[in-house]
Amino acid sequence: MQHIYDIDVQVPMRDGVALAANVWHPAEGAAPTLLVRLPYGKDVMGFGQSAIPDLLTLVEAGYAVVVQDCRGTHRSEGEFVPHMADRADGEDTVAWIAEQPWSDGTVGMYGPSYLGMVQWETAVTGAPALKAIAPAFTSIDNYESPWYGAGGALSLSLVTLWNAMMYAADAQRSLAAGEGSVDQVQQLGQALLSAESLNEVLPTAEVPVLAAYGKWWDDWMAHPSHDAYWDAMELTPELKNVTVPALNIGGWYDLYIGQTIRTYTTARRQTGTAQAREGQRLIIGPWDHMATTGVYPDRSFGPLASAQMLGLTGLHVKFFDRWLRGDTTALDDVAPVKIFVMGIDQWRDEQEWPLPDTLWTDYHLTSGGRANTADGDGALTTEPPAGVEHDTYLYDPRRPVPSAGGASMPVTPGFCGPVDQRTVTGRDDVLCFATPVLEEPVEVTGPVSLTLFVSSSAVDTDFTAKLVDVFPDGKAINLCDGILRTRYRGGLATEELMEPGTVYEITIDMTATSNVFLPGHRIRVDVSSSNFPRYDRNTNTGGVIARESEEQMIPAVNHIHHGPNHPSRLVLPVIDRKDQR
């Protein structure tokens, strides 16, 4: 089949702005069309993300493909402000595609991260020609992920890196148009090359090169709570307008994993048609935001782990064949939920999420009061402890616990994914609670949370939690984690400070995982008060954290209480399928 490739096709928007697109379409006849909208430059074939399906395979499968620069980026006209124009622009682009002679009037969308956000933003408009979307590693709530966390802490390393990248591109664009300055481009370019150093600058809101450029940086810093500013960008209330099925793709170590799962489960209940609800699919691999090989320095998940071995491009083709071409048998061999189970390193098909045979199991925290470090006396037990005790540590924001792996952007090697926690668990401000050595395998698949009874010398502080698989040789691999800024313990929209010394019950959302803890291993949860620079440091003052300097920071003496009256516990979704072992 012969194809035509048109570069920089101008697509008119309702306000007269033209957006540039590259178009691949058959030389003859009309075809279903797949649309990608992105702010990173349409001329880069792979877009720097390995979860994206192979474009040429999609073209050879008989699809036309349109790849468009978002408004105000690269070769498209207008001004870029994250998320502000993507609903209308997506709707207009879908309508334009449906009118082209090479289009059969049906449109699908695909792509990860921001490319996934714009799919949901288009879907909530109810664009008639849009028939299916395949959002990967993405969110419908821009506060809870990516820019802040589900517990209210700023996703510092991501926010500084992403804004440096977008501002540098914007400054280059302005310079090419005869505006701006060479100095500004150089400063932002240097900031991008050394984005890690931006995380050390205080106050955070006044990071010189980013604050000087202004734009949305100032807005994000001015709205640390999930207030009306963020509500305007959240799509959950508008899912009722969505009429299309979605192929939701995520990674256990992706920064969006919590939102990916939440979007799938919410869309199964709240989208506007039975077809949209029943047509939802979920795939989760042992991947991070950029890499889908399943291979990391401290942990390799085996030859089956990669998106390539899974055949992720082929799954996209089947999904679009079903919903754009009407092939009712295309997904017959594709389960509604496909997850990679770590530990046994195997893919497994499921019918729903969470799994219907989940046994929600409490693992109680206990100790003799010395759970500090991995060599302390912290323990996890399925039997409630009889003794009353607490563990204490000093959280000093000038000496935060450094980030060691996890579901974050891979800023530097070892910053995301599975990482041996022995690099941080020798610190006295990390509490470790572990089971005895397991004699039988324990599968944990589903949402994970930690309920703690805490008190502090401060009016506000953070608590972090990390689920860890401890190997027989002592290697300790993180699986999932979470953080809660205690001022948001009652909800992300309102702040409520603590009374020093008063005990509060809090719950930390640790997102989800799927892992079999093998015999000889131990289940462990690590508790502390910082994960820097993945999240910003709580200054412990109760003030506006982004506006505070290092001189304003104060240490906090934090306590974890456990025992009959304070049942601190790790809640694990245990799957007991002895017939499958």
By annotation, the residues acting in catalysis are: 113, 254, 289
- Provide the token pair at 223: 């709205």
Residue 449 has a CB neighbour count (10 Å cut-off) of 18
- Provide the token pair at 551: 């001189």
Return d(Cα 213, Cα 233) in angstroms, integer: 22
Return d(Cα 570, Cα 481) in angstroms, integer: 12
**∠ CA(259), CA(261), CA(262), 5° rounding?**
60
Closest CA to 136 of 349, 404, 319, 334: 319
Return d(Cα 447, Cα 485) in angstroms, integer: 20
Return d(Cα 466, Cα 486) in angstroms, integer: 17
Return d(Cα 546, Cα 246) in angstroms, integer: 37
- Provide the token pair at 108: 């699908």
Provide DSSP, 298-332: S-B--TT-SHHHHTHHHHHHHHHHHHHS--TTTTT
**∠ CA(146), CA(70), CA(260), 5° rounding?**
30
CA quadruple 144, 319, 271, 233: dihedral, nearest 10:
30
Gyration radius of the chain's alpha carbons:
24
Return d(Cα 537, Cα 529) in angstroms, integer: 9
- Provide the token pair at 433: 């609670």
* Helix, strand, or coil (residue 275): helix
Q: How far is CA 519 from CA 50, 344, 346, 437, in A?
A: 34, 12, 17, 7
* Helix, strand, or coil (residue 71): coil
Return d(Cα 138, Cα 229) in angstroms, integer: 20
* Three-state SS letters, 357-415: CCEEEEEEEECCCCCEECCCCCEEECCCCCCCEEEEEEECCCCCCECCCECCCCCCCCC
Residue 72: alpha-carbon gap to chain centroid:
25
* Helix, strand, or coil (residue 446): strand
* Helix, strand, or coil (residue 187): helix
Return d(Cα 464, Cα 560) in angstroms, integer: 12
Closest CA to 27 of 53, 67, 62: 62
Contact present, 558 and 392 (Cβ < 8 Å):
yes
Return d(Cα 283, Cα 253) in angstroms, integer: 13
